Amino acid sequence: MSLPIALGGHDVIGQARTGTGKTYAFGVAMLQRVGKPRKNRKKPRGLVVVPTRELALQVTEDLLVAGGKLGSRILTVYGGRAYEPQIESLKQGVDVIVGTPGRLLDLVNQKHLDLSQVSMLVLDEADRMLDLGFLPDIERIMKLIPAERQTMLFSATMPGEIVTLSRRYLSRPTHVRAENADADSDSPSKTTQFVWRVHRMDKIEILGRALQCEGRGLTMVFCETKRACDMVSEQLRERGFASAAVHGDLGQSQREQALRAFRNGKVDVLVATDVAARGIDIDDVTHVVNYDCPQDDKTYVHRIGRTGRAGRTGVAVTFVEWEDLARWKVANNALGLDFAEPVETYSTSPHIYTALGIPEGTKGVLPRANRSRAGLDAERIEDLGETGRHRSRRGDEREERKDREERKERPSRGRQRRRTRGGQTLGAEETPLAPDTAPARALPEPEPVHEEPALDMPVLDIPVHDVPLRDVPAQEAPVHDIPVQLAPAEAPVTVTRRVARRRVAPVEGDVLAPGTVAAPAVRRVRRGANRAALSGALSDVAPDTPVADTGDWDDYDEGYDEMPEAPEAPRAVIPRPEPERIIPSSPFMVVFRSPDLASEDEEVAPSAASEVKQRRRPPQRGRRG
């Protein structure tokens, strides 16, 4: 219907269902008006703007088929690919450009693309192109195109506000809507729709059983977020299904690899966001599953439009969670469907098996005998000259696996080691060692111990009293007040710095040799301090007088010397007053009393309220005499 109007050079707003051939509706008219290519004409005459990269590739393929006899030069321009091939094709000359807004503006800014001779502009999926996200870019592109042009808008859904907005850029457009209400009311729908109310934790199990229904071919599963796509694709892969993910976080080469594997049959389940719901035409898509509830009625129409195309039949299953029920009712009323109250469904519900034709006893895991798909890894990934890093979880796993394989194949290199000591190379170790042999680590030699001269202290053996250290403090038993009893002298005992002992005050009953004095009480000190300590403690004793060891000794670790122990000053113990006990009159009463921390001499600080009240008070004037 729109082809004669488009060939006449009029502006067109085309609206038709998905799969009815909207691409040929504007493609044939554009190729006819552009005509055969000429050598002296290098600037493009036709421009097709699409929202996604996948749709750009599909439109280009359809235009190449339609203009094969004419030999029209058609170039695809989109992000994710290297600039050099696209710039080289622009220098050679093109007739029609199909691209996304971002890359088109980049090439215009780099002075590689000139849109001054474009006479025909097409906005495919116009409702998405004129949305708030793409509208600024579309306005910039339209300013670069001559005002005398033909503009056509095509989409499956065309809301009223989009039609009103599009009239700003079109000149007396003709709105063509390819729909026959009488015929559609009599003929049954080509797509069988099921809407079930499910639980979030049970959706993956229902999906695993639904993918084993009879007569299932290629299947598309739509999720709301990119992370949900990765999660669902990974879980399906663990259950034995050949699945792949397509979303915006994937590199362009990964997205094209997944679509090629899906078209070639190596992958039969494609998990995608709404990026693949716009205009993607893949044959033999028999089932569409809305894993997440669509946002509105237009999204639902584009999703289920991937199946039942060009007169074929298909099945569409929609999962609606409890929190999405209100949103689904709005879309249901807008489309006039009969699923205002979806049936509550679980993975064990009998109506799943009867509605989809699932064999009895089927579980959510695909049997090994039915795993015949090659998978995503069997499809070759194309090098598109991407500079960004793959941000997909699956892509990171492949990169890590590839790095591990390269490390395994890399030959090991031996290292030659030499042992040195004090900067001199040892002769026995100069020969190179084997790669797997590591030299033994030489243990450090012990440092020589400097022995200090021992301090001879002639003492007598004293009977050891079992007295605790805390019971007899040194200051309570002075040395000169202790009565002693003489005993025959014996050989003196030598005390070195390697024996560290602590001596307590002598007690009654200790015996001294004739002509000796009692040594004072000592405490533990670091080694090297015994000489100065003992010399200071015995300064009042004659040099030739032997020193007797009196009192009790405790053995301690080696490395400590002996030093007189300083008496501790007595401490006064102040009794702590007990708090006042408050006895309530009733056992169910709780009494709290805050302590008064202020003394009688201190003044109570004014509160904030009293200070504000004082500032607001007017000053008092003096009385006149």
Residue type, 410: R
CATH 3.40.50.2300 holds for 187-385: no
Rounded Cα–Cα distance for residues 240 and 594 (Å): 72
Please compute the mean of the pLDDT values over residues 302-313 and round it to a whole number: 84
Are the C-beta atoms of 357 and 214 separated by less than 8 Å?
A: yes
Q: Mean pLDDT: which of 489-498, 529-538, 605-614 is highest?
A: 605-614
CATH architecture type of domain 2-180: 3-Layer(aba) Sandwich (3.40)
Report pLDDT digits (tens) over 553-569: 444 444 444 445 555 55
pLDDT at 126: 84
At residue 175, does pLDDT exceed 90? no
Candidate from 72-86, 360-374, 493-507 with smallest mean pLDDT = 493-507
Please compute the mean of the pLDDT values over residues 409-414 and round it to a whole number: 55
CB burial readout 272-295, b (16+ within 10 A) else e: bbbbbbbbbbbeebbbbbbbbbbe
Which of these, 16, 9, 2, lies nearest to 310 by C-alpha position?
16
pLDDT at 428: 46
pLDDT at 444: 54
Please compute the mean of the pLDDT values over residues 21-48 and round it to a whole number: 87
At residue 105, does pLDDT exceed 80? yes
At residue 71, does pLDDT exceed 80? yes
pLDDT at 468: 46
Candidate from 68-77, 150-159, 342-351, 447-456 with smallest mean pLDDT = 447-456
pLDDT at 368: 93
pLDDT at 556: 44
Report yes or no on whether pTM surpasses 0.75. Answer: no
The answer to whether 2-180 and 187-385 have equal CATH topology is yes
pLDDT at 305: 87
The secondary structure of residue 607, as a DSSP letter, is P
At residue 268, does pLDDT exceed 90? yes
At residue 275, does pLDDT exceed 60? yes
DSSP states of 289-347: EESS--SSHHHHHHHHTTSS-TT--EEEEEEE-GGGHHHHHHHHHHHT-S-SSPEE--T
pLDDT at 96: 93
pLDDT at 597: 56
At residue 575, does pLDDT exceed 60? yes
User: Can you state the angle between helices 53-66 and 252-264, rounded to 10 degrees?
Assistant: 60
Candidate from 121-130, 295-304, 378-387 with smallest mean pLDDT = 378-387
pLDDT at 554: 47
Model confidence at 33, pLDDT cuts 50, 70, 90, reads confident
| Parallel, antiparallel or unpaired: strands 343-344 and 191-197 | parallel
Please compute the mean of the pLDDT values over residues 232-256 and round it to a whole number: 92
At residue 267, does pLDDT exceed 70? yes
Rounded Cα–Cα distance for residues 599 and 605 (Å): 13
Residue holding tokens 């790669």?
A: 435
Candidate from 350-354, 519-523, 590-594 with smallest mean pLDDT = 519-523
Q: What's the first-to-final CA gap in the chain, in angstroms?
A: 109
Candidate from 361-370, 413-422, 439-448, 456-465 with smallest mean pLDDT = 456-465
Report pLDDT digits (tens) over 486-500: 444 444 444 444 444
Top pLDDT among 435 and 103 is at 103
Q: Mean pLDDT: which of 89-103, 438-452, 486-500 is highest?
A: 89-103
Model confidence at 362, pLDDT cuts 50, 70, 90, reads very high
Please compute the mean of the pLDDT values over residues 68-79 and round it to a whole number: 88
Give the ranges where 345-386 is alpha helix by DSSP (H).
350-356
Give the number of C-alpha atoms closer than 13 A to the C-alpha of residue 71, restricted to the C-beta side. Answer: 5
User: What is the overall mean pLDDT for the chain?
Assistant: 75
Which of these, 203, 197, 22, lies nearest to 122 by C-alpha position?
22
Model confidence at 75, pLDDT cuts 50, 70, 90, reads very high
Rounded Cα–Cα distance for residues 535 and 212 (Å): 99
Residue type, 175: H
Please compute the mean of the pLDDT values over residues 615-622 and round it to a whole number: 68
Top pLDDT among 107 and 185 is at 107
Please compute the mean of the pLDDT values over residues 304-322 and round it to a whole number: 89
Please compute the mean of the pLDDT values over residues 593-611 and round it to a whole number: 61
At residue 466, does pLDDT exceed 50? no
pLDDT at 400: 59
Q: Mean pLDDT: which of 274-288, 537-551, 605-619 is highest?
A: 274-288
Candidate from 183-197, 310-324, 519-533 with smallest mean pLDDT = 519-533
Please compute the mean of the pLDDT values over residues 379-396 and round it to a whole number: 61
Please compute the mean of the pLDDT values over residues 612-623 and round it to a whole number: 69
- In the chain, where the domains are located: 2-180, 187-385, 456-461+483-565
Please compute the mean of the pLDDT values over residues 140-148 and round it to a whole number: 91
At residue 215, does pLDDT exceed 70? yes
pLDDT at 282: 82
Top pLDDT among 440 and 408 is at 408
pLDDT at 240: 95
Rounded Cα–Cα distance for residues 474 and 567 (Å): 7
Residue 341, C-beta contacts closer than 8 angstroms, at least 6 positions apart: none
* Torsional class of 536: left (φ above 0), alpha (ψ -120 to 50), beta (otherwise): alpha
Q: Mean pLDDT: which of 82-96, 186-200, 476-490, 522-536 is highest?
A: 82-96
Model confidence at 598, pLDDT cuts 50, 70, 90, reads low
pLDDT at 463: 47
Candidate from 64-73, 364-373, 552-561 with smallest mean pLDDT = 552-561
Top pLDDT among 281 and 325 is at 325
Candidate from 199-213, 392-406, 475-489 with smallest mean pLDDT = 475-489
Model confidence at 45, pLDDT cuts 50, 70, 90, reads very high
Q: What are phi and psi of 230, to 5 degrees?
A: -60, -40
3-state secondary structure of 605: coil
